[in-house]
Structure 1
Amino acid sequence: MFGLIGHLTSLEHAQAVAQELGYPEYADQGLDFWCSAPPQIVDSIIVTSVTGQQIEGRYVESCFLPEMLASRRIKAATRKILNAMAHAQKHGINITALGGFSSIIFENFKLEQFSQVRNIKLEFERFTTGNTHTAYIICKQVEEASKQLGINLSNATVAVCGATGDIGSAVTRWLDARTDVQELLLIARDQERLKELQGELGRGKIMGLTEALPQADVVVWVASMPRGVEIDPTTLKQPCLLIDGGYPKNLATKIQYPGVHVLNGGIVEHSLDIDWKIMKIVNMDVPARQLFACFAESMLLEFEKLYTNFSWGRNQITVDKMEQIGRVSVKHGFRPLLV
Structure 2
Amino acid sequence: MFGLIGHLTSLEHAQSVANALGYPEYAHQGLDFWCAAPPQIVDYFHVTSVTGQVIEGKYVESCFLPEMLTNRRIKAAIRKILNAMALAQKNDINITALGGFSSIVFEEFNLRDNPQVRNVELEFDRFTTGNTHTAYIICRQVEQAAAKLGIDLARATVAVCGATGDIGSAVCRWLDQKTETAELLLIARNQERLTNLQAELGRGKIMELEEALPLADIIVWVASMPKGVEINPETLKKPCLIIDGGYPKNLSTKIQHPEVHILKGGIVEHTLDIDWKIMQIVSMDIPSRQMFACFAEAILLEFESWHTNFSWGRNQITIPKMEQIGTASLKHGLQPLLSW
TM-score, normalization: structure 1?
0.99
CA contact (8 A) 2:22 2:42 kept: no
Counterpart of 2:311 in structure 1 is 311
Counterpart of 1:182 in structure 2 is 182
Counterpart of 1:36 in structure 2 is 36
Residue segments in structure 2 that go unaligned for 5+ positions in a row: none
Cα separation, 2, equivalents of 1:24 and 1:218: 43
Cα separation, 2, equivalents of 1:336 and 1:94: 25
Q: Which amino acid aligns with 2:77?
A: A
Higher deviation after alignment, 16-25 or 121-130: 16-25
Q: Which amino acid aligns with 1:230?
A: E
Cα distance, 1:126 vs. partner?
A: 0.1
Cα distance, 1:71 vs. partner?
A: 6.5
Note the 1:1-339 alignment, pairs <5 A.
1-70=1-70, 72-339=72-339
Deviations 1:264-313 (A, max 9, x none): 00000000001100000000000000000000000000000000000000
Between the two proteins, what is the percent identity of the paired residues? 77
Q: Which amino acid aligns with 1:281?
A: I
Cα distance, 1:258 vs. partner?
A: 2.0
CA RMSD of aligned residues (A): 0.7
Cα separation, 2, equivalents of 1:338 and 1:17: 28
SS across alignment from 1:274: coil
Cα separation, 2, equivalents of 1:294 and 1:209: 26
SS across alignment from 2:275: coil
SS across alignment from 1:247: coil
Cα separation, 1, equivalents of 2:45 and 2:61: 14
SS across alignment from 1:168: helix
Cα separation, 1, equivalents of 2:138 and 2:181: 15
SS across alignment from 2:200: helix
Structure 1 ranges of 4+ moved more than 3 A: none
Cα distance, 1:330 vs. partner?
A: 0.2
Higher deviation after alignment, 16-25 or 327-336: 16-25
Residue segments in structure 1 that go unaligned for 5+ positions in a row: none
SS across alignment from 2:136: helix
Distance change >3 Å, CA 54–CA 274, structure 1 → 2: same
SS across alignment from 1:141: helix
Cα separation, 2, equivalents of 1:247 and 1:72: 22
Cα separation, 2, equivalents of 1:85 and 1:232: 41
**How many equivalent residue pairs?**
339
CA contact (8 A) 2:163 2:187 kept: yes
